[in-house]
């Protein structure tokens, strides 16, 4: 087998290039390189031995970060994707390894993140035989296809370049999301002539229809109380978003996934919490790169509210309710086209914007009643630079952070999307830091969720990934306990926890750890921890905490909610 040219060729491939014989594993690694992959996360296993040997051969060009659990590897790949906007890649053994990762993969679906799972199989000649081979599933492809929209098996090395091209297209074209590629161990080891393919240039999204743009501009200019609602699909459209908002004096409501696209210190920027109150007055809504689920279903909608939607996915643009004007294009193209078409105008929205600011002040007043969460979040914001990143788990402080912590840049507040998967924050933060080591990264965890993935503390130490882990310790599944008590007359069940000594636990991994009793001390310790060149852990013991959910789940502000 001729493998001397493996991983040695010039990165400037022509559109296709016939290589000396490569085995399936080498073809995968070459394909990842062609698509710009510089890091993979994962755990080796016997069905993947050829693949990890191929990674060893390219270790100067692809970093391999081995983890302590497949779910951790998948969350790290997701964090990498959230930080960069590029696909994150992880590798998992078939069967139990792939199943371990699926909670994180489904989280990537929820958050719209491009994550590639490369998994193995049992030997190809035994697939479907039900022989009880190690790591055998009855139908592994069916399992993954129940979670992701693209999942395929490579049966021969020469198929790998085309399948990887399909996988990367599926992950990045339209609404981003994860993909799965599997290959049996004998196929990974099989060598044959492989025609490598250069990654195609990104497919351009459609130009917006100028007739519809004109209609949208007329509606926005004629509106008395317009609003722009932006989601994760608008992360790269901050420039035209700011131009349009300022040109027509339109308030901008950012969903959780769009925090920081328009900085929170901009006078036209409002959080999702304030957006619920602004929605009471809205007559025209420009909805950009978001599912629009909360406004359409929970906030209610009067029949005379005109909705203009910008989205790249045809199915999404009509869910959950149809729009009056549908602009099938990217957020940046759609917003820029509207900006370029809006005539010079002097719009007076002083009264409307006063109402919006009063709503923001009212929300701030309600948030101030949730101590100690505001004080802890304030300390977190004071210690972090504006480009610092907070990765927030589904904990009481994490929920407060996602909804209310001031954000000044996109991709600086991250969460698990609608899956609300516990255990996300620690491994995702590790992936964020690997992707962008110059940025300061904090994982905000609850004591319950932290213990879902705490083993990745070992990954942080082994690879010296210098994040700060903050654990809010209330000896309970706090969000669940609060909701149970509120719903059932103070009763709760199966929510109180017996925890280890988290400081001693962190120290046992070789992580400098401490416990703090106040927001003031928290800020001091966090500032010092962020300056360190190694992982740190801070425990914040607290008692019962008021819930933010009453602010999130308020009655419909327009018409009747449709769910």
Q: What's the pLDDT tens digit per position in 481-539?
A: 888 988 899 999 999 999 999 999 999 999 999 999 999 999 999 999 999 999 999 99
Contacts of 190 (CB under 8 A, 6+ apart): 23, 24, 156, 157
Both 383 and 530 in one domain: the answer is yes
Both 111 and 218 in one domain: the answer is no
- At residue 527, the pLDDT reads 98
- At residue 296, the pLDDT reads 59
- Residue 556 falls inside a structural domain: no
Both 147 and 232 in one domain: the answer is no
- At residue 295, the pLDDT reads 60
Q: What is the pLDDT of residues 453-480, one digit of tens each?
A: 999 999 999 999 999 999 999 989 988 8
- Checking if the pLDDT of 130 tops 80, the result is yes
Give, in order, the Cα–Cα distances in Å from 455 to each of 122, 128, 394, 420, 503.
Answer: 27, 34, 18, 20, 15
Give, in order, the Cα–Cα distances in Å from 107 to each of 103, 180, 398, 559.
Answer: 6, 14, 16, 32
- At residue 330, the pLDDT reads 94
Residue of 19 and 555 predicted with greater confidence: 19
- CATH of residue 324's domain is 3.40.50.1220
Instruction: Please give the Cα distance from 246 to 344 (Å, whole number).
Output: 12
- CATH of residue 392's domain is 3.40.50.970
**Nearest partner of 472 among 411, 415, 393, 547, judged by Cα:** 393
Q: Which of 364, 392, 410 is the last residue of a domain?
A: 364
Instruction: Please give the Cα distance from 269 to 233 (Å, whole number).
Output: 17
- What value does the mean pLDDT take over residues 118-140? 90
- At residue 344, the pLDDT reads 84
- Residue 558 falls inside a structural domain: no
Both 359 and 375 in one domain: the answer is no
Region for 541 from its dihedrals, namely left if φ exceeds 0, alpha if ψ lies in -120 to 50, beta otherwise: beta
Give 555's pLDDT tier (boundaries 50, 70, 90). Answer: low
- At residue 254, the pLDDT reads 96
- At residue 3, the pLDDT reads 45
- Residue 233 falls inside a structural domain: yes
Both 116 and 248 in one domain: the answer is no
**Nearest partner of 214 among 405, 342, 123, judged by Cα:** 342
Give 301's pLDDT tier (boundaries 50, 70, 90). Answer: low
Tokens of 533: 């060149």
Both 319 and 359 in one domain: the answer is yes
Report the 10 Å Cβ neighbour count for 243.
16
Ranges of beta strands (E only) in 113-264 are 115-119, 150-153, 179-182, 191-197, 226-230, 252-254
Give 560's pLDDT tier (boundaries 50, 70, 90). Answer: very low
Q: What is the DSSP letter of 223?
A: -
Residue of 99 and 559 predicted with greater confidence: 99
β pairing state of 16-23 and 115-119: unpaired
- At residue 1, the pLDDT reads 39
Tokens of 87: 């696909």
CA angle 345, 350, 353 (to 5 degrees): 110
Count of structural domains, the chain = 3
Both 189 and 247 in one domain: the answer is no
Q: Which of 143, 164, 197 is the last residue of a domain?
A: 197
Both 474 and 407 in one domain: the answer is yes
- At residue 294, the pLDDT reads 65
Contact 441, 429 (CB under 8 A): yes
Both 393 and 342 in one domain: the answer is no
- Residue 9 falls inside a structural domain: no
- Checking if the pLDDT of 6 tops 60, the result is yes
Both 378 and 328 in one domain: the answer is no
Say whether 146 sits in a helix, a strand or coil.
coil
- Residue 563 falls inside a structural domain: no
CA angle 39, 44, 47 (to 5 degrees): 120
Both 185 and 225 in one domain: the answer is no
Q: Which of 197, 222, 238 is the last residue of a domain?
A: 197
Report the 10 Å Cβ neighbour count for 217.
20
- What value does the mean pLDDT take over residues 174-199? 94
Structural domain containing residue 176:
16-197
- At residue 12, the pLDDT reads 46
The predicted model scores a pTM of 0.94
- Residue 1 falls inside a structural domain: no
Q: What is the pLDDT of residues 39-91, one digit of tens each?
A: 999 999 999 999 999 999 999 999 999 999 999 999 999 999 999 999 999 99
- At residue 11, the pLDDT reads 46
Instruction: Please give the Cα distance from 462 to 439 (Å, whole number).
Output: 20
Q: What is the pLDDT of residues 379-422, one digit of tens each?
A: 999 999 999 999 999 999 999 999 999 999 999 999 999 999 99
- Checking if the pLDDT of 298 tops 80, the result is no
- Residue 394 falls inside a structural domain: yes
Give 549's pLDDT tier (boundaries 50, 70, 90). Answer: confident
Give 554's pLDDT tier (boundaries 50, 70, 90). Answer: low
Contacts of 68 (CB under 8 A, 6+ apart): 43, 455, 456, 458, 459
Ranges of beta strands (E only) in 201-324 are 226-230, 252-254, 269-271, 284-288, 306-311
Contact 89, 431 (CB under 8 A): no
Contact 37, 87 (CB under 8 A): yes
Taking only Cα atoms into account, the Rg of the chain, rounded to an integer number of angstroms, comes to 25
- Residue 301 falls inside a structural domain: yes
Instruction: Please give the Cα distance from 394 to 546 (Å, whole number).
Output: 15
Both 290 and 305 in one domain: the answer is yes
């Amino acid at each position: 087998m001729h493998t001397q040219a493996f991983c040695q060729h010039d990165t400037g491939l022509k559109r296709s290039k016939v290589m000396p014989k490569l085995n399936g594993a080498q073809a995968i690694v070459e394909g990842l390189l062609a698509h710009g992959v510089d890091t993979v996360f994962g755990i080796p296993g016997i069905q993947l031995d050829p693949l990890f040997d191929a990674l060893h051969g390219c270790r100067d060009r692809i970093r391999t970060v081995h983890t302590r659990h497949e779910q951790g590897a998948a969350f790290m790949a997701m964090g990498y994707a959230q930080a960069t906007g590029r696909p994150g890649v992880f590798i998992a053994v078939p069967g139990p390894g792939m199943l371990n990762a699926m909670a994180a993969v489904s989280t990537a679906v929820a958050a719209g993140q491009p994550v590639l799972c490369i998994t193995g199989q049992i030997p190809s000649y035994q697939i479907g035989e039900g022989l009880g081979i190690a790591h055998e599933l009855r139908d592994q492809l069916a399992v993954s296809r129940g979670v992701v929209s693209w999942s395929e098996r490579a049966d021969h090395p020469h198929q790998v370049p085309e399948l990887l091209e399909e996988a990367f297209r599926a992950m990045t074209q339209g609404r981003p999301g994860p993909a799965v590629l599997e290959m049996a161990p004998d196929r990974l080891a099989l060598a044959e002539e492989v025609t490598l393919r250069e990654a195609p240039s990104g497919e351009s999204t459609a130009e917006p229809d100028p007739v519809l743009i004109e209609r949208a501009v007329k509606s926005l200019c004629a509106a008395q109380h317009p609003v722009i609602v932006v989601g994760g699909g608008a992360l790269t459209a901050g420039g035209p978003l700011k131009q349009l908002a300022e040109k027509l004096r339109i308030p901008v409501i950012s969903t959780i996934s769009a925090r920081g696209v328009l900085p929170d210190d901009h006078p036209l920027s409002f959080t999702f919490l304030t957006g619920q109150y602004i929605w009471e007055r809205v007559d025209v809504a420009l909805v950009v790169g978001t599912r629009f689920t909360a406004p359409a279903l929970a906030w209610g909608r009067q029949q005379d509210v005109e909705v203009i939607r910008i989205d790249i996915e045809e199915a999404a643009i009509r869910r959950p309710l149809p729009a009056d004007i549908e602009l099938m294009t990217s957020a940046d193209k759609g917003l820029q086209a509207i900006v370029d078409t809006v005539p010079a105008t002097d719009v007076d929205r002083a009264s409307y914007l006063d109402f919006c600011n009063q709503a923001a002040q009212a929300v701030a007043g309600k948030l101030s009643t949730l101590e100690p969460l505001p004080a802890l979040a304030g300390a977190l914001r004071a210690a972090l630079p504006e480009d610092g990143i907070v990765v927030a788990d589904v904990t009481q402080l994490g929920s407060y952070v996602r909804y209310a912590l001031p954000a000044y840049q996109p991709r600086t507040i991250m969460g698990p999307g609608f899956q609300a998967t516990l255990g996300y924050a620690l491994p995702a933060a590790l992936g964020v830091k690997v992707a962008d080591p110059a940025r300061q990264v904090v994982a905000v965890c609850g004591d319950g969720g932290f213990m879902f993935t705490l083993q990745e503390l070992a990954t942080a130490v082994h690879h010296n990934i210098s994040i700060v882990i903050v654990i809010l310790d209330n000896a309970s599944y706090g969000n669940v306990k609060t909701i149970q008590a509120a719903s059932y007359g103070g009763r709760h069940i199966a929510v109180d926890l017996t925890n280890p000594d988290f400081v001693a636990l962190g120290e046992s991994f070789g992580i400098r750890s401490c416990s703090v009793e106040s927001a003031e001390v928290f800020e001091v310790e966090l500032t010092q921890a962020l300056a360190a060149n190694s992982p740190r852990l801070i425990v914040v013991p607290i008692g019962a905490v008021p819930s933010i959910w009453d602010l999130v789940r308020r009655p419909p502000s327009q018409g009747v909610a449709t769910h």
